[in-house]
Amino acid sequence: MPYNQLTENFDWVRYFENCPSDRSATGHAYTARIRIRHQNERNDLTVKIGVDGKEPLVVWNRPNDEPKPHPYDNSKELFIDVPLPAYAPSNWPPGYYHRWYVEVTDGVKDNLTAQIKEITLARLYHNPGNLTVGKFQTETYVPEQTNITVPDGGSVKVHIPGANPAKPPLAPQIHSSYTLTIEPGQTSVLPGNPVTLQGKLTVSAIAGQSSPAAGREIRIYKYIGDPCVNKPGQWAMVIMATPVNAPPDAGKIFTGSDGTYTASLTPSAGRHIYAAALVDQNGKVLASSGEAVVNAGLSQLKLPQVELYQQFPETIPGPGPIME
C-alpha cells in the first residue's frame, strides 16, 4: 500500500512491545503454521482448524475481498502462524483420540486451484531436565500427505497426522530421563590460560533409581547475549580445538564408566557462561546442565591495592557566585 493511502485506510494504530515470556504452560503454547499457494489470490480462501466434533476456529476468511473499498491485496501466497482453538490443551496430542484437521475452501469458481504446501501443529513445552540449552522445545505434527490440492470452488479437509491414526498401546511407555551437571575447575583465569569444565551424567528410567550413563557424547555450549534487550540470548556450541590430522573423535567429549566427563578450553578475556548438553542423533537436547561461570582477565587476580587518585579537600573553591 502506498504511503499516500494510509490516512484513507487507517484511522488508528496499536503497537505491541516484543519481550521474552514463558508461554509453555499456557494455552498460547499451541499453534499452527499453514502455507497455501493459490493460482489466483489468497483472498479466495477460507481456512478453519479444529478437532472432529468440536467448533472449528476460522483463521483466514477471505479478508480484503468484498465488499470494497479495502486495501488491495493480490498476493497468491498465504503463510500464517496462528493459535489453536482454546480447547487445544485438553485435546492433545493429535492422533487416534483427538482428530485434528485443517479445512481449506476456495470461495471462487474460476478454473483456478490452490495447493496446501505445509500444515504443522505445534506445542511449546519446557523440558524439566534441560536447565539451560534446549530448555524450551517443540513437538510437531504434520499430515501424511504433501502438496494437497484444493479443488476449484471446493473444499478439502486434511487430518493431522492422518485420516486413520494408529491406536496408542495400552502398556505405558518407559522413558529414560537424564541429569547432567557441570562445574569449572577454576572460576578465574588469565586470558590465554586453559580452564577445565567437569561434570557427571546419570540416567533414570524408574523414579528414584539412577545410574551413571557411560560412553555418551557431551557437548559444551557458551551463552551469547543478544544486543537487543528484548531478545533472549542463544547457546552456541563450542568447537573444541584439535590437532591437524586428528582422528574424527579427537574433539569430542565422552563420559567415562562412572558417568563423569572433563573438557578443557581456553577462554578469551571477559566473563563467560558455559553449559553442557546431551544431544541425540536428531539434534534433540535430552539433558542440559546449569551454568558454569568463568572470568578471564587481570581484574580477577588478587593484586595489591594501589592509590591511583590524588586526595582532594572536601570542598573545592569555585569561580564565584552563579549569576542569575
Q: Please, which pLDDT band fits residue 8 given cuts at 50, 70 and 90?
A: confident
Q: Are residues 212 and 268 in the same domain?
A: yes
Least confident piece of the model among 1-5, 64-68, 78-82, 94-98: 64-68
- The model carries a pTM of 0.75
What pLDDT is attached to residue 249? 66
Burial class (CB in 10 A: 0-12, 13-18, 19+), 183: middle
For CA atoms 301, 307, 308, 314, the dihedral sign is: positive
244's grid cell = 591437524
Q: Please, which pLDDT band fits residue 80 given cuts at 50, 70 and 90?
A: very high
Cβ-Cβ contacts under 8 Å for 290 (sequence gap 6 or more): 131, 132, 181, 182, 275
What pLDDT is attached to residue 324? 38
- DSSP result, 173-198: PP--EEEE--EES-SEE-TTS-EEEE
Dist CA 84 CA 29 (whole Å): 9
Dist CA 293 CA 274 (whole Å): 6
State the amino acid at position 72 in one-letter form. Y
How many folded domains does the chain comprise?
2
Dist CA 97 CA 168 (whole Å): 9
Structure confidence by residue, pLDDT tens digits, 98-116? 999 999 999 999 999 999 9
Q: Are residues 72 and 192 in the same domain?
A: no
Which range marks the domain in which residue 40 is found?
22-160
Q: Are residues 206 and 181 in the same domain?
A: yes
CATH number at residue 296: 2.60.40.10
Q: Are residues 224 and 188 in the same domain?
A: yes
What pLDDT is attached to residue 69? 57
Least confident piece of the model among 146-150, 197-201, 266-270, 296-300: 296-300
Cβ-Cβ contacts under 8 Å for 97 (sequence gap 6 or more): 168
pLDDT at 27 over 80: yes
Q: Are residues 84 and 209 in the same domain?
A: no
Average pLDDT over residues 225-241: 82
Structure confidence by residue, pLDDT tens digits, 277-289? 999 988 899 999 9
Average pLDDT over residues 134-140: 92
In a domain, 147, yes or no: yes
Q: Are residues 32 and 68 in the same domain?
A: yes
What pLDDT is attached to residue 3? 80
295's grid cell = 572470568
What pLDDT is attached to residue 160? 94
**How big is the CA angle at 125 (ends 120 and 130), to the nearest 5 degrees?**
130
In a domain, 77, yes or no: yes
Q: Are residues 97 and 143 in the same domain?
A: yes
In a domain, 118, yes or no: yes
Domain boundary among 129, 160, 191: 160
In a domain, 253, yes or no: yes
Q: Helix or strand or coil: residue 9?
A: helix
In a domain, 75, yes or no: yes
Q: Please, which pLDDT band fits residue 227 given cuts at 50, 70 and 90?
A: confident
Q: Are residues 28 and 151 in the same domain?
A: yes
Closest by alpha carbon to 259, among 162, 147, 178?
A: 178
In a domain, 317, yes or no: no
pLDDT at 78 over 90: yes
The one-character DSSP state at 5 is: G
Q: Cell 562412572 maps to which residue?
A: 258
Q: Report the share of the chain in percent with pLDDT over 90.
A: 59
